């Protein structure tokens, strides 16, 4: 195995596959990146068992790739990334010199890294499942941004640690919930599909960070896995087993109170009081009437009180308490100038929507208080 | 107590005294900042028992201070700093409204903070000791930068966790050592003094970060404490008890080998191999001869080898091993283009100096290796 490559192109690809390198895996072989040098391209693969990533680098003006000899080797992901990051040359030479002993050369510096035979790496099946659809890169990133934060961090109900992708006809509904809040995004696809899968939130966040293109992204899925094709990058993740709860009936459709407010005003007010925690919870009380919204946060030692003028408020005065960070997160991801919040009572879930985008919906459960 | 003040000026001063606010102190009263509003200025004080800081803010075009009512109160340092940082106004109003209950007002937002009576705060004596000298701000910062890093982090010999300031006649010698490396800086003062004190490294780092002026800094000391006067800021710290070791006899004066080298070249070479650790130590071997320096680092799986051309090397070829980060740190703080390294043998301490500045000296002990 012997090739020359542009340092930055090589490092960018190492950083991408490194997202799947498992530093703490009980299988030491997964600490490695599999490097395969073919006739006219090189391929890097890494996997932590849950997510697997493969990139292919071809020879072009960015990669400056020249291949002298084919071959495969497993190289420690952490060492390889440190070496290429620190190397002192624009073009890096990589050559196995004695079995798996690999020589990585810059200008003044010369690294040697003891590799492992590639036969020791598990076989990873990157074959493309038949069910397939395409999304613009920005649309996929937005789905992930607007839903992932609402997944549960607790493993007690594993299915809630993922985002549910449910497609009926040409409508794709993506839902995340931790039982106290819920995020739902709807997308209309070009073709009809029928699937219902739950993708781990962590894998989706990795996909979002890897997306480095404006091109469409192909998403192919079976009942076992989902594969994202991002130009020359394949990202494949396991699915979460188990039935995702039927969330549509949780979303109220009739409301008695409606608040229209400047998103920035409300975000600032919530952020200002966010250092006040009561028994670990950042609890906010909102008192609404036609003239003003009074936002109060309190702990034993501190009180914060703030007045915001609504654009419009319809309904009788209402007092409602909630986790401040839940409402803050929900408004933040709506990315809107004006937010409409619809309530049906001070102990009923309420809904936050952008005035300009009806396809995304955020739901938050209030908290009962005794003062 | 009632005053108005510019938010930024107030926050800057809160941040300064907050360096002495002790969040984990067993004395809860030390979690507070003491705020004293006098006739024509306000004063803030904080202490963690080791270091005490007091700032005074007068009315000027920066502070925009207007005092309506005198008074004292203790306010939680963390809450006060969060509130002023987050407040939504350029001019902040602070008023005690009911005993110690303090109201902090911005534009829309209104904070209430339960304070404590100032009588509960310990009396801190900021009186100025008689022995006093002045240093330019930059000179003091440089002393701290070039010595503090070499202090010990282990509490087994407490005196080594500080920097020794020893003055005989008009020569001030500042020394730090952790027994494996040593940093020494000499300064000529305007007047004669006679003292020998050891200042905690942490306090010196706080002083360095607080220095926000080009004016001279007054340093006053007794055998119990040292007081730094930085314009309107007083920083006072306890000293470390115990006899500081006599270090001058550790510094060799005769050398058999001398290397003159570009500082940047050597720093880059050491940095590049710094990810290679052997049993937790970043061990570097340097093989020197007239033509080249070969720098090698190795662990079980990795080898890094690098060649640097010396500007000049005098002496027989020499192989020497050391902790790479020790030599890296020593060269970094010299702030020099060219570094002269003088050796007397592969198991003797060696000396690093800037070619342009003879007042600072760095010493490193080699490490014995068996290959």
In a domain, B55, yes or no: yes
pLDDT at A371: 56
Residue A103 pairs in a beta bridge with A95, A112
* pLDDT of amino acid A319: 96
Q: Average pLDDT of B275-296?
A: 92
What six digits make up the tokens of A218? 């192909």
CA–CA min distance B100, chain A (Å): 11
The reply to whether A28 and A137 lie within a common domain is no
Does residue B22 surpass a pLDDT of 90? Answer: no
Cβ separation B79–A109 shorter than 8 A: no
Domain final residue pick, B120, B146, B164:
B120
- Cα–Cα separations (whole angstroms), residue A25 to A17, A75, A158, B303: 16, 15, 20, 25
User: Looking at the domain assignment, is residue A355 inside a domain?
Assistant: yes
Indicate whether B132 pLDDT > 60: yes
Task: Specify whether A238 is located in the same domain as A300.
Answer: no
pTM for the full predicted model? 0.91
**Probe site for chain B from A76, A78, A85, A110 (most B CB atoms < 10 A):** A110
Distance from CA of B103 to the nearest CA of A (A): 9
Q: Does B264 touch chain A (CB under 8 A)?
A: no
Which of A78, A83, A106 has the most B C-beta neighbours within 10 Å, making it the best mutation to test the interface with B? A83
Q: Which of A108, A269, A301 sits opposite B114 (nearest CB)?
A: A301
Q: Is A40 among the domain residues? A: yes
How many contacts does A have with B, using Cβ atoms within 8 A?
79
Rg (C-alpha) for chain A, rounded Å, is 25
Cβ–Cβ contact A107 with B under 8 A: no
Separation between Cα atoms, residue A41 and residue A66, nearest integer Å: 9
Q: Are residues B19 and B112 in the same domain?
A: yes
pLDDT of residue A106: 95
Nearest to A302 among B111, B269, B304 (CB): B111
Q: Quick check: B212 pLDDT over 70?
A: yes
Same domain? For A27 and A102 the reply is yes
Write out chain A in H/E/C secondary structure.
CEEEEEHHHHHHHHHHHHCCCCCCCCCHHHHEEEEEECCCEEEEEEECCCEEEEEEEECCCCCCCEEEECEEEEEEHHHHHHHHHHCCCCEEEEEEEECCEEEEECCCEEEEEECECHHHCCCCCCCCCCEEEEEEHHHHHHHHHHHHHHCCCCCCCHHHHEEEEEEEEEEEEEEEECCCEEEEEEEEEEEEEEEEEEEEHHHHHHHHHHCCCCCEEEEEECCCEEEEEECCEEEEEECCCCCCCCCHHHCCCCCCEEEEEEHHHHHHHHHHCCCCCECCECEEEEEECCCCEEEEEECCCEEEEEEECCCEEECCCEEEEEEHHHHHHHHHHHCCCEEEEEECCCCCCEEEEECCCCCEEEEECCCCCCC
Assess whether A48 and A75 both reside in one domain. yes
> Do B157 and B267 share a domain, yes or no?
no
Rounded Cα distance, A55 and A213, in Å: 14
The ipTM of this complex is 0.86
How many domains does one find in chain A?
3
Residue B11 token pair: 């926050």
* Buried b / exposed e along A40-75 (16+ C-beta atoms within 10 A): ebbbbbbbbeebbbbbbbeeeeebbbebeeebbbbb
B351 and B259 inside one domain: yes
Determine the pLDDT at residue A278. Answer: 81
What domain range is A294 assigned to? 252-364
- A306/B110 Cβ within 8 A: yes
Compute the distance between CA of residue B326 and CA of residue B181 in angstroms, rounded to an integer. Answer: 7
Q: Is B241 part of the contact surface with chain A (CB cutoff 8 Å)?
A: no
B79–chain A Cβ distance below 8 A for any pair: yes
Domain match, A147 and A230 both: yes
Best of A31, A85, A86, A105 to mutate (most B CBs within 10 Å, chain B): A86
What was the pLDDT predicted at B205? Answer: 97
What is the least distance, in Å, from the CA of A100 to any CA of chain B?
A: 11
Q: Is residue A125 part of a domain?
A: no
Contact between A88 and B271 (Cβ < 8 Å): no
Listing from the earlier edge strand, what are the strands of the sheet with A109-114?
A66-69, A2-6, A91-98, A101-105, A109-114, B302-308, B293-298, B283-288, B318-323
- Domain membership flag for residue A260: yes
pLDDT in tens, B224-248: 999 999 999 999 999 999 999 999 9
Indicate whether B61 and B109 sit together in one domain. Answer: yes
* Same domain, yes or no: A69 and A153: no
Q: Does B371 have pLDDT greater than 80?
A: no
Helix (H) or strand (E) holding B197: strand B181-200
Which one of B112, B272, B300 has the shortest CB-CB distance to A302?
A: B112
Per-residue pLDDT of chain A in tens (371 residues, 90 and over written 9): 999 999 999 999 999 999 999 888 889 999 999 999 999 999 999 999 999 999 999 999 999 999 999 999 999 999 999 999 999 999 999 999 988 999 999 999 999 999 999 999 999 999 999 999 999 999 999 999 999 999 999 989 999 999 999 999 999 999 999 999 999 999 999 999 999 999 999 999 999 999 988 899 999 999 999 999 999 999 999 999 999 999 998 999 999 999 999 999 999 999 998 888 888 889 999 999 999 999 999 998 899 999 999 999 999 999 999 999 999 999 999 999 999 999 999 999 999 999 999 999 999 999 988 65
Read off the tokens for B235: 């920083």
The pair of structure tokens assigned to B209 is 């970060």
Q: Give chain B's mean pLDDT.
A: 95
pLDDT band of residue B279 (cuts 50, 70, 90) is confident
Asked if A79 reaches chain B (Cβ–Cβ under 8 Å), the answer is yes
Under the banding of pLDDT at 50, 70 and 90, the label for residue B25 is: confident
Residue B99 φ then ψ, to 5°: 65, -110
Domain boundary among B202, B217, B249: B249
CATH of the domain at A205: 3.10.150.10
Is the domain of B242 the same as that of B257?
no
Q: What percent of chain B has pLDDT over 70?
A: 99
Same domain, B274 and B356: yes
Identify the CA nearest to B304 among candidates A105, A11, A116, A101.
A105
Q: How far is A113 from chain B (nearest CA, A)?
A: 5
Domain with B336 in it: what CATH number?
3.70.10.10
Determine the Cα–Cα distance for residues B195 and B166; give it in Å rounded to an integer: 6
Residue to test with chain A: of B105, B110, B292, B324, most A Cβ within 10 A: B110
B125 inside domain? no
B145 within domain boundaries: yes
Domain stop point among A120, A143, A174: A120
Q: Which residues of A touch B109 (CB under 8 A)?
A: 269, 272-273, 304-306
Q: Quick check: A79 and B110 CB within 8 A?
A: no
> Which contiguous run of DSSP H or E holds residue B257?
strand B257-262
Please name the residue that has the structure tokens 């710290």: B237
How do residues A246-278 score in pLDDT, each as one tens digit?
A: 999 899 999 999 999 999 999 999 999 888 888
3-class DSSP state for residue B39? coil
Residue B231 has a pLDDT of: 95
**Residues A333-359: tens digit of each pLDDT:** 999 999 999 999 999 999 999 999 999
Domain presence at residue B369:
no
């Amino acid at each position: 195995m012997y090739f020359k490559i542009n340092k930055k192109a090589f490092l960018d690809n190492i950083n991408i596959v490194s997202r799947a390198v498992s530093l703490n895996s009980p299988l030491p072989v997964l600490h490695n990146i599999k490097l395969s040098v073919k006739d006219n391209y090189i391929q890097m693969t890494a996997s932590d068992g849950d997510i697997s990533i493969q990139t292919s680098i071809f020879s072009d003006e960015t990669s400056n790739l020249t291949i002298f000899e084919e071959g495969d080797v497993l190289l420690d992901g952490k060492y390889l990334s440190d070496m290429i990051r620190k190397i002192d040359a624009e073009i890096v030479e990589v050559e196995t010199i004695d079995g798996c002993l690999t020589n990585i050369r810059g200008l003044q510096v010369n690294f040697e890294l003891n590799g492992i035979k590639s036969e020791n790496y598990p076989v990873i099946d990157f074959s493309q499942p038949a069910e397939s659809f395409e999304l613009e890169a920005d649309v996929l990133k937005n789905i992930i941004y607007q839903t992932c934060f609402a997944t549960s961090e607790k493993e007690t109900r594993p299915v809630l640690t993922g985002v549910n992708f449910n497609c009926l006809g040409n409508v794709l509904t993506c839902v995340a919930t931790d039982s106290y809040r819920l995020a739902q995004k709807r997308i209309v696809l070009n073709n009809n599909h029928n699937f219902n899968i739950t993708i781990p939130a962590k894998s989706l966040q990795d996909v979002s960070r890897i997306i480095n293109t404006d091109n469409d992204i192909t998403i192919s899925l079976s009942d076992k896995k989902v594969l994202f094709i991002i130009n020359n990058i394949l990202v494949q993740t396991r699915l979460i087993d188990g039935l995702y709860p039927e969330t549509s009936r949780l979303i109220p459709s009739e409301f008695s109170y409606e608040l229209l407010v400047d998103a920035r005003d409300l975000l600032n007010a919530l952020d200002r009081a966010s250092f006040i925690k009561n028994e670990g919870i950042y609890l906010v009380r909102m008192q609404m009437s036609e003239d003003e919204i009074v936002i109060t946060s309190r702990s034993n030692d501190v009180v914060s009180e703030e007045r915001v003028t609504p654009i419009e408020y319809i309904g009788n005065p209402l007092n409602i308490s909630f986790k401040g960070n839940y409402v803050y997160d929900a408004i933040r991801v709506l990315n809107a100038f004006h937010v409409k919040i619809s309530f049906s009572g001070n102990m009923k879930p309420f809904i936050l929507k952008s005035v300009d985008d009806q396809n995304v919906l955020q739901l938050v459960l209030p908290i009962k208080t005794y003062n």
